[in-house]
Amino acid sequence: MDIYDVYLGLCCCVSLGCRKASELLETAPDKNGLFDGDLKGMEKAGIITGLMRSEMEKWSSEAFRNGIKQEMERKGIRFVPQFEKGFPLLLKETELCPLGLFVSGSLPGDDELCIAVIGSRGCSGYGRSNAFSISKELAEGGISIVSGMAAGIDSAAIRGALEGGGRAYAVLGSGVDICYPVENFDIFDKLTTRGGIISEYPPGTEPLSWHFPVRNRIISGLSKGIFVVEAAEKSGTSITVERGLEQGRDIFALPGRAGDRNSEGTNLLIREGARAAWKASHIMSEYGLDLPEKVIKSQKSHLDNMEKLVYSTICCTPETAEAIAERTGLSMKTLYQVLVRLQLKGLITEIGVQQYVLA
């Protein structure tokens, strides 16, 4: 069996897990013959379990291997083993690096600067719009965004990066042919051409709950820095940050209002020494990059005085029409018209019932 097949096999036998697979590979006297060795003996010696053995035995059949490879080809999925050129160097240096990655689309290049943008699923409007706009600006500045594809911050970040014309990579806790959660099917399609969908799990793997914390090490491993947008005090985000710190990554956090549940975690990170960042430039300057000349500013100068007045009172926390009217002193009649115009210009959006936030 050639070495590519061995690596692919070790990744396809999901029951092995990354740690056991690496161990087997290291201790094997003949790497190419790993699958043809005395598997029963290994089971008896307690090196592998019965489930692992049966999976490995299956893999040793050439017909089975070809079947899997054909399926991958049909779905346009590549497998990039650790030793191959093209496997991200940044990730390769980390502890417990996967033996290979399944990818639909492409992997980040070694000269590409990747920033992970992560945060909670049940985020607030504040988190979502910041994740979106900062990722968008980062993308415009040539930085690629790495994220999970979960609801909330993760998908907002990917949407922002795509909107900014940049590249984005989603690291999944399932096979790369499974779009989870389904609502994200629109970005799922775009990612294959404008970045990549990456996973250490073989195609067809279900999104099981214990996969997600494990895949977080890949998110941090692929990135130079980790930008935490919103996180409650205890969350999956903290796992990514922990892995990132072990891997020596820079940690950025979006400061939030004291007392906001969703900003507990990020504020705590800042207190512990993460860099506070609320603009793309805060992150970019860290890597000696500048923001490109802005063109979006012109959009706001199109606003008439009344629109500016209303726009200035709308922020990332939902605001009722009544509160806006009170603050601006406009009559409801005028306010409704201004709100519609601002919505048509795509600057604000309605959330809940008659509550407005920045788009």
Partner 1 sequence: MFSNIICAALCGMGVIPVQIQADISNGFPSYTMVGYLSSEVRESRERVTAALKNCGYRIPAKRITVNLAPADFRKGGTAFDLPVAVAILTSLGALSKDDVADIAIFGELSLDGTVLPVRGILPMVNGLLKEGVKRFIIPEGNSGEGRLIKDAEVWCAGRLDDVPLILAGKKERLEACDVSVNTPEYEEDISDIESQSVLKRGLEIAAAGRHSFLMVGPPGAGKTMTAERIRSILPEMSGQEVLEVSEIYSAAGLLPAGGMITERPFRAPEPSVSERTVTGAGHLPVPGEISLAHRGVLFMDEMEEFRPAVLDAVRKTLEEKFIAATVNRRSAGFPCDYMLIGAMNPCRCGYYPDRNKCVCSRREIELYRRKISGPLLDRIDMTLAVENVRISDTGAKTGVSSAELRDNVKRAWDIQRERGYRGGDSNSSMTQADIKKHCAFTADAESMLTLLAAKKDLSMRGMSRVVKVSRTIADLAGSSIIDTEHVAEAFSYRGITTDFWRI
The binding site for partner 1 (CB under 8 A) comprises 121-126, 128, 151-152, 181, 259-262, 318, 320-322, 325, 332-334, 336-337, 339-340, 343-344, 346, 349-355
Residue with tokens 């709308």: 314
Of 77 and 357, nearer to partner 1 (C-beta) is: 357
Of 41 and 181, nearer to partner 1 (C-beta) is: 181
Strand spans (E) along the chain:
78-81, 100-105, 114-119, 144-147, 168-171, 195-199, 225-230, 250-253, 275-276, 319-320, 348-351, 355-358
**CB 24, min distance to partner 1, A:** 39
Q: Which of 239, 277, 271, 244 is nearest to 258 (CA)?
A: 271
**CB 195, min distance to partner 1, A:** 23
**CB 17, min distance to partner 1, A:** 28
**CB 214, min distance to partner 1, A:** 21
Of 42 and 321, nearer to partner 1 (C-beta) is: 321
**CB 47, min distance to partner 1, A:** 41
Of 82 and 343, nearer to partner 1 (C-beta) is: 343
Cβ-based neighbours of 346, under 8 Å, separated by 6 or more:
359
| Contact between residue 165 and residue 139 where contact means Cβ atoms under 8 Å apart | yes
Q: Is the dihedral of CA 74, 80, 84, 88 positive or negative?
A: positive
CA dihedral (277, 283, 284, 288) in degrees, to 10, reads: 110
Cβ-based neighbours of 168, under 8 Å, separated by 6 or more:
135, 139, 144, 145, 146, 147, 157, 158, 161, 162, 187, 191, 194, 195
Of 44 and 261, nearer to partner 1 (C-beta) is: 261
Residue with tokens 């000349």: 293
**CB 277, min distance to partner 1, A:** 21
